[in-house]
Amino acid sequence: MMDAIAIDGPAGSGKSTVAKKIAMALDFLYVDTGAMYRAIAFKAMQAGDALDDEDKMGEVAENSRIEFDQTGTHILIDGTDVSKEIRTPDVTANTKFSARAPRVRACLVKMQQQLGLIRPVVMEGRDITTVVLTDAKWKFYLSADPKERALRRMKEFEAAGHSVDLDSLIEDIRKRDESDMSVGPLAEAYRNAVEGKNN
């Protein structure tokens, strides 16, 4: 088994907050895999690429260098720190295009697995326990009420200077949950947690 803590859960469930605290306490590398998908979406947006072109998105991912700082709280793409830029509502809305592109997922999963081999990690996302770090020593699934998750997201956006509507955020989260929980790695992670298959 890998010296890794794998945390899955839906958007806004508190994964990042929990993962950062654990990583700091244990001196593990913190890896926010969602930030990687955001970074690819941001790069494609900056280049004016068609976000719904899955092959083009795959090319963007395959030709990108993604790195984290020692704390894992800053992400760089091609040497540029984009930690703040990837947290805007526009990037949040468009990350779905990078997340659902098969070539992007294959490329980023490989990067994530390599990060897990470098040093002990706390990695959080939506497919960590089921796809990325299936051999992790510790696996967890986190969730929360959709309204609480939307409130958390709204505070994050407002702290970054962006105004958003709470009802719209709640609706976006519910729609995303319906899609995620019908099929895919997050649905599998949820079933595993309910059935007690996680460590």
pTM tops 0.95: no
- Predicted local distance difference test score (pLDDT) of residue 159: 85
Average pLDDT over residues 122-146: 93
* pLDDT (0 to 100) of residue 199: 57
Residue with tokens 């494609």: 44
In this structure, are residues 171 and 199 in contact, taking their beta carbons and an 8 Å threshold? no
The token pair that represents 144 in the structure block: 């929360």
What burial class does residue 118 get, using C-beta atoms within 10 Å of its C-beta: 0-12 exposed, 13-18 middle, 19+ buried?
exposed
pLDDT in tens, 62-115: 999 999 988 888 999 999 999 999 999 899 989 999 999 999 999 999 999 999
What mean pLDDT is reported for the chain?
Answer: 91
